[in-house]
Every structure is written in structure tokens, then in C-alpha cells.
Structure 1
Amino acid sequence: MYIRKNERNRVGIMQHDADVCDGISVLLMENDRDMCEQIEAALRASGYDVHAFRDADDGLKAAKAKYFPICILDLNTGGLNVLKSLKQMHPEMHVIVISSSCSTTKYDVINALNYGAFMYLENFNCEEIVVNVKKAASFYRMKKEKEEIAERYRSLVESMDAYVYLIDRDMRCVFANRKMLSIPGMKNNIIGMKFYEFFNTYSAEEMERNLRHVFKTGNALSYVTSSDEYGRWFLRTLSPVKDSEGNVIAVTVISRNITAFKEVEKELRRKNEELEWFSYTVSHDLRSPLVTIEGFVSLLRKDLERGDLARVYADLDIIEGGVRKLSAFLDDLLTLSRIGRVANPHEYVNFGEIVEDVLKLLDAKIKERGVDVIVADEFPVVHVDRVRIEEMLQNIIENSIKYMGEQKNPRIEIGYTDDEHEYVFFVRDNGIGIPADQVDKVFQMFYRLERRTEGTGAGLTIAKKIIEVHKGRIWIESEGEGKGCTVLFTLPKYDQNNEKKS
């Protein structure tokens, strides 16, 4: 017997270790009654949850029913076959093999270790057993903590709204989250592949250069790239993964699609440009009629003093014209401010009815200029704010009439094409056209191709805002001066449930 009786006196000393083991379950298989009781008592004193069995079959049944991180197995209790069975059931189990028999040979030790024993103890005492169980418990806890950390990391990575993957020094992918694997066309077996085998060739060169930089310097790197054939923008962060000696062994890539942010940024930039143009135009166009009014008020006073009634009436006509111009300008400003804020209920209406109503309103101007208006035979039903869309179409057609120039046979054509998810309408004329360098400017607030043309120049700006409120697009195509132009705009299709088709 290798357990001394005075070992029982040491049990109390081990009480302080109770909080260290955290109640880890230990399977004890020892056929000797006294030895089994003493080992069990020592382990329980240290806070372990001990399940002791003197029969090998009973111990194996317990191991099958419940997982034990640690097992203490006396070779006299079933021998190496029990060890093999335990490791087959639970390969991760830490089995401490003990032997109290003098007949144990070095081959028994070698075989036990080959079969996966965590440790082999001979000529042991209870204190030694507790110390080695602590070692096994430490390994178990460290492994469990690593697994928990890995699971938390995996959960975090999988929950991120980003493409996350890990590239090793051989430029091979060793991990990819579900979002990465869900990319249309992405191969599910990218693990182990060189990154440029599945990476977009459009930006592979840039990516490889940045990866090598992180491997070389050990510093994280972030950059924004638009290297995508679909016009998307990505923010990529490359972070080094280092071993215990500080060597970079892999790079974690986190790639976020920031196309929406870039579009917002682009829209804000455009709005700022519009605001600058607006400030300039308002200050100029408001000042112009005010200067006119101010000047002719002064002349009016002098003409009144002279009693020159003819000049007085002429002065009043000019002042009245300035007031009308100022009033029209302010009306357009008010209209622009109300679009999107003040709206009429949307309704289903055949676009042909809208065309018909607008042409009736403009009948006098059309006849006065002698414009031949060609209208498509049929139009689709749209879901719109009818009042605003009629206002928009009226502005576009009035613009076409206004800029016919010296055209002897003025013509306006109104029609549409059916796209997959939207209708594309057009108003085509054979007027003076638009110079290529001014096509993008015509929708600017109060922009006019010719300053002498009547009106404030807000017509197309108003039309653009109305279309944008309806989730559509508007643009102009022109082959140049003297070749007419086409205004195109889109309206989304809606199904019978009033849901936008996508």
C-alpha cells in the first residue's frame, strides 16, 4: 500500500484549494477500498466533484452517461483496456494513470502514455495526486477558456455586418465568416485557397500589396477602395495576428461595404454645390429687380416734379415689371420649398391623362409657336401625386417651347419605354439643343441657357425635385447646339398592393 495513514492529516491543509478547482467533476476508478476512500476524501477536500467507482464496468457506464474532464485510473482496475475505452469515448479527457503494484513495467508506462494518458504516477501519495489533478484541471480550464474566447470571437465575427476573413503568410484563406461565403458566386471551399483565387481580380494587386505591408511592418492598415467592377466602395481594415513571440502569422481582413455612405457623401457634396449656386443666384436675381425698382423710383420722382406724365407711366410700367419678376422669383422659391413637404395623396392614374391635361393648359402657347406635338398612342398607369407630376411635365414642355429658337418646323414628341422595374418617359424636341458643357448645369437652381429668356430658370429644378420625391431619376440628352434635346425621367412601377417592384 503506497498511501500513508498520516495523509489523512493533510486533508485539512488542502481546503484552501477548494475555490481553485471550481467544482470540476473527477472520475475515480480505484478497486482498493481504502485507497479509493482516501483519494476521494483528498479531492473532495480540495473542492472537486468526485465520482468514485471500484468496478471498471461501473466506471465506464458513468463515463458514458456523463462527461468527466479528469479521470484517475488505477491500472489494477481494468488495466489499459479501460484507458483505451475512456479515450475512445472522450478523446479530450485528462486521464491520470496510477499504479500501486510492484509488477508494473516500463512497457505499461509507455503504453499508457501512447494510449493518451495525461500522466502516469507510481509510488504516489494523496498530495501528489491532488497536485497533478490541479495540473489537469488547469489544462482543462485553459482549453475551455480558449474555446469560449474562440466562440465569442466567432459569434462576434459572424454577427458583424462585414466580410471577415483570415489570410496566412502563404496568402491562403484560413477562415471566412458566413457573410463572406454568402457573396454571390463565392466558392464555399475557399478555406485553403490563395486569396487571389477567389478575390476580385479588379483589386487583387492592391490587396496583395497591403497584405505584404502588414506582414512586414506588423502594423494595422485601413484604406478605402472602389476597386470593384460594380462601382461599390469598401473600407478595409487589415490587422496583424501575432504569435507569442510577436511574429505576424496571419492578417485579419474586415471589409465593409460603404457604398451607401459614399453615395450620401456625394449627395451632400452636390447639395453644397447647389447651396453655393443658390446663394449666388438668389443674391444676384433678387438684387437685379430691386436695383431696377430703386432706380426707376428715383426717375419717377423727377418725372413727377416735371409733370411729364408720359415718362411717369413709362417708369411705372418698368417698376411693375420688376415687381412681377421679383414676385415670380419668390413664388418659385416657395414652390421649391414646398415640394416634399406639402404633398397631395398619391393616386393611380393613366399617364396619358396627365399628358392630355398639361397639353390643354399649354394649348395657347403651343399654337402661338406652331409646335407639332406627337403623343404616344398609349401610356401606363402610374401611382403619383397627380398635381405635382402635371406641374413637372408642364415645366418640361414649356422649356421645350421656350427654347425652339428659329426652328421653322418645331416639334415635340412625348412617349415612354417600359423598363424592368420602372417606366422611362421622355419629352423630345428639335429646338436649339444644349452645349455638351452645360448639360449637367440645366438642373441647377435658377440656371438659364440664355439670360434674356423669360422666366426665372427654376422650371427644371422644380421638375427634378418632384421626380426625386417620387423615387425617380431625371436627366437630359442632347447631341449639341441646334440638334434638339430629350428630357427623360423615370417613375417606379407599383403592384396592386401598392408595393414598389424591385
Structure 2
Amino acid sequence: MSAAPEQHPIELNTALPLIQGLTRLHDWVALLEPDGRVVWLSDALASTCGGGRSFKGSHWLQTVVRADDPDELMSGLENEGRISNQPVRLREKSGEEFPVGVSAARIAPGCGAVVAIFRHLDEPRPALESTLRYLAAVLDSSPDGVIVIDRSRFITYANPAMQEITGWAIEDLIDRPLAVFLRAQDDLEQIVGALADAPKVRDVELAVRRRDGGPLEVSVSVSRLALEDGTQVGAVAYVQDITERRRFECDLARKNDELEHYVHTVSHDLRSPLVSILGFSRLLREDFAPALGDKGEHFVRRIEEAGRTMESLIHDLLELSRMGTQQVLPERVDPRDVLVQLQAELKPRLDEQRVSLQLPEDPPMIGCERTRLYQVFSNLIGNALTHMGDVANPIVDVQVEERDGRTHIAVMDNGSGIDPKDHDRIFEIFRSVGGPSRNQAGSSGVGLAIVKKIAELRGGRAWVESALGQGATFHVELPTI
């Protein structure tokens, strides 16, 4: 790419990165002063016109192209701010001239700099136009926007839906460079990749210029367009307006952030009075037991139990609210070390419920922070114990294996099971579903929501397979690192 000149107005210096990005879409690009003097030419244009010859400071209608009526061309630029596919003749370094079309426009309303894009006119126009007539019969009625661009990246067809989406009349879209409708250089890069790297590209999201200047987010799928003999003549782009969807997603994300902040604040504020309740109830039981009597001591124990349950709930709520704000830095963790630690901590409860906890002997390493992996196993095993029900030989079996490049965790029990209609609801916060055995005390109602969020924040997922009376298998899938 040609080097930028060292000195020219600051607005042109600011514009050069975007203009240079255009050369990835269009071969022949020029940056001009408002009066038509050349500031910069793309390598392809400079090579075509004069090899190593410098064009800086010369008037583009004298050294780069020749127009039948140069005054009319410049007048269109000055009065309208743009010209579209005007016929001119490009001057070759040999002195020969050949016809091209030029579209030019000011870079921005407050910027006098002009970008000009030249279009080859040696393309297979009759065959392309015949193809377009055939396509138009089908695409004119499409509810989604459709445009066809030629090999020079100029728009040669737009359907009525494209007019409705962008606000641009069809005649204002035809024969104009695709680049003038994009908002940012990043969007140029995405389109270039879509057109150059593969015959088909789906769902590239980018910003487009509406006629009224309003925001427009679109999803674009691109397919190359070829004639019957295989000649590549351009591409077809299918355009969907996703502005409302993106706005809804942004609003939802903002509301989720506000809700997480609210939950974090409320949970934190509840801790102080809870500490006092637990502290004074312990003092009552330890220092005033004779005065309380058996009945009073029983009531104090009930207060302590309820306080500890609330303490567990507050802890889980705080953990859930923190997860979306903390950076995920996965590490390789041996799951057996975590499971052996949990087995030791849960031994009194396992013995009391006569549950056999079966652990994998040599599981693969898991890509997850140790603290979060502990939470996954603790909540899944704790959930199985809480909702085991009345079973003759209760078993909780933990398995870890690699499948298709991902780590798969399964925690199986032979307890009361879950109705299939409740499989999605059970991962929602404060949801308790099923029969009496699935509504026992000891569960905060947040554990499975934590498991699901841990998995999803790491690019994985969590789900359950179960039926009433047939136990349950909770699955967690995580990317392998």
C-alpha cells in the first residue's frame, strides 16, 4: 500500500486508516482534497496509472482520469456531496485510456476529504444482467434484504426489502460501492473475510448506514455468485435486520447486571443482622440453658438451624451474583483430589443416610478453577443426598470422562427421580419440583443454578436426565484445555 503523505490536514490523517481499509474491498481507491487534488492512491491504482510516478498534489481529473465534462463532475461533488458510478476514462501509464465508473463522496459531513472508488467495466455484464433478471423474479418477494455485488464490490441489485431495512431507495443503492454503506473499518474487515475466505459465510453481524443516519445492526450471510460456466461474477448477500434483537439483548444484559448488583447488595446487608441472631441464640443456649428448660432450648436450636439455613442461602446468592463479574481463568485440576476432599467432609451425612458415594479411580484432568469445580461437585452430590428419598440401597455415582474433545461429568443417583417436564425448571433459582422427597429442608434452592452458571461461563452446559422413581443423572460438559 502506498505510504501516506507526511503533511496534509489533520482530518485526512484521521481518515487514512479507514481509506486504506477500503483497498481490501476495492482495488482502485483515491483520497482527494476537497478541491480535487490527490492526497493518496491505493497501490493498485498508482501502479495502473503511472508505476512509481508521484500523483500527490495533482488534480485527479488531469492525471488519474479524464472526464468528458469535469466541471459537471466536480459540481456534483460540491453540491450533492457525492457522485455515483459516473463514466470516466482511467489513464494508464502507457498513455492509453480505458472506461471505468467512479463513485465518490465526502468521508463525513464535517470532513472535506473525498474518497473516490473506481469500478472495472470489463466484467461479463450481459451474462450477469441475465442472471440478475432471473434472480430478481425470486428475490424481489423475499422478506429479508438481498443485494448482489459484482467483482468490483459494487451493488448491482437490491430487493424491495433492502429499501425497507436501510431507508435507501433501490436506485440509490444500485451502482454504488458496498463500502459506503458500512460504518466502521472493523465491519470492512468482516465483509472482506466473508467475501474472500470461503464460498459461503453465515451470520456476520455488522453495522450499516441507514439513510436517516439512525443505527442499524444487521446479520449478513454471503454466497459467491457464478455463471453456468463457473465464472465468478460476484456474491449474493442476505441481510436480516437485528437492531431490535440487539437492543433487547443489551437491555436484558443491563437488567441482569442491575439484578446481580441488587442481589449482591441485599445478601451482603443481610449478613450483619444474621450474625447477631446466631451469636445471641448461641449465648442463650450456652449460658441460660437451665433457665430456658427443655422446651426453650428446643426453640433456640430451631432458631439456630433456621439461621444457618439462611446463612447458607446468603452465601449461595453472593456466589451466584459474583460469577458474572469475575474473570474466568481455567486451570487443569485433578477431580479426584476434589472429590476425596468432599467425601471426607460429607462422611457424617453419608453415614447417617447410609449412602454409598462412588468416585472415579483415574479421571482425566478438568479445565476449571478448583474452587468452582468444588462447587459443581458439592452442589450436585449435595442435591442427590438431599433428594434421595426412601431407598433401600442409596448410591451416588460420580463419573468423569472425555468425549469428543470435551470433559463430561455425570453425577448419578438411584433416588426419587424428576418428572421430565421439570428438567429445565430445576436449574432455575429457588425452584423446587417433584414430590415430597424433592422438597426436603437443607437445600438453598440456588445450588443447581450455580452449577449451570459455572458451566455456561466456561463455554459448557448442564442438564439432567431422569424420570419419576428412576433416579437422576446430572450432566456437566466443559471444554477441554
TM-score by length of 1: 0.45
TM-score by length of 2: 0.47
Which structure has the larger Rg over C-alpha atoms?
A: 1
Structure (1/2) with the larger strand percentage: 2
